[in-house]
Amino acid sequence: MADSKKPKMRITVASKMHRRSARVASASKSSQTNEPDKAKAANPASKTNVKAKMSNEYAALSEYVDKQFNMLSRKLSQLVLDRQYTPSDDEKKESSVEPRASIDSEATVVPPQFPTTKSRETEICAKLFSPVESLPDYSELRERLLDDFVEPIPIHRHAYEKLKSEVAQEVLSNFCIVEEVGNTCPTLTPYIESALNVTNVGRGTESMQQHVLDKFLMGIISTAQSEIASVDILIDRNAAENSVTKKGCRPDFLFSINGQLVFKGEEKKAGDVRKIAMELTDKMIPGSVGKGATSRIQYLLGYATAGSRVLFECIHGDDKMVECSNILNLERIPDRVTMIRIIVNVVRIALSLTADTK
């Protein structure tokens, strides 16, 4: 049995030796195969050559694309020129109309059913604020302060329609429609519309109420100041004045012509408007108003406010005062229109007053 096993052992050893030789041979062959790759990877000149070749190919491709694009652009341009649009005679006629601005212009881009004219503000204001022909007596002021305007004030249709439902036709006749007569008063029109539409009436602090009042006072009187060059008009607030006012006293609002105070106001956030009006005479120099020997002016117009309520007065002597209006409530549109009418006529009467100033 021992002899029969010996040949088997020799075969097993031989087999192992054969397999080991095969692995060695394979490893040797693999090593030989990888040597050129390693040599190639270790050669930087080879990498540079590849990059240079790729760069040249990209440059050639880019040049080709540019040439094709330029050729295509030239063809498209020529195609547009060959097929250029030629407008018809009617289209040429329509395009010849030049749009113009509506303010201070003879025409406008507004549709033709809304005609406009060149601004006539100076001309209209000269009529609107023209001095009254005869200075009314203080006893006539309640009526004369509501005189109709010599020239209607233009307002836009939406504002006119709003008034149409609020005031009588005879009052409405003091206004006209911008879209029908043209934008003839580009400054006064926005002021009047702002007064008609102002908010926060009767609310907020006293300073806020001054803002509301100035829509009426400053808007109208400042327009007269700008358009009437023949006199020196001054409007101010809480300022010193020495024509009829005591030294150190300052009216809440003052309007003077050629240095003569003609209209002033006392304003409070709340209270009895008639009691507040009494302050109009408290700050005055004795004998400065009236028909006395030392009087500077025949009478002085004024107003007092308590929130949204306004009362107009006429001072015609020391501590002598007469009401020139009902108590107006500026929360109401009809009373806002009355306020506008009164202030316009205050300017007219004031111009006549200063013509008779001593």
Q: What pLDDT tens digit does each residue of the chain (358 aa) get? A: 444 444 444 445 455 555 655 555 555 555 555 555 555 555 656 667 777 777 778 778 888 888 887 777 777 766 655 555 566 676 666 555 554 444 444 444 445 554 556 788 999 999 999 999 999 999 999 999 999 999 999 999 999 999 999 999 999 999 999 888 887 898 999 999 999 998 878 787 888 888 889 999 999 999 999 999 889 999 999 998 888 999 888 999 999 999 999 999 999 999 999 999 999 998 888 888 888 767 788 999 999 999 999 999 999 987 789 999 999 999 999 999 999 999 999 999 999 998 855 4
Distances (CA, A) of 215 to 166, 210, 250, 276: 20, 9, 21, 21
Helices in 254-318 by DSSP H: which ranges?
A: 273-277, 279-282
- Using DSSP bridges, classify how beta strands 320-323 and 309-317 pair: parallel, antiparallel or unpaired: antiparallel
Write the burial class of residue 107 (CB in 10 Å: 0-12 exposed, 13-18 middle, 19+ buried): middle
Predicted structure pTM score: 0.67
Q: Which residue has the tokens 């305007």?
A: 149
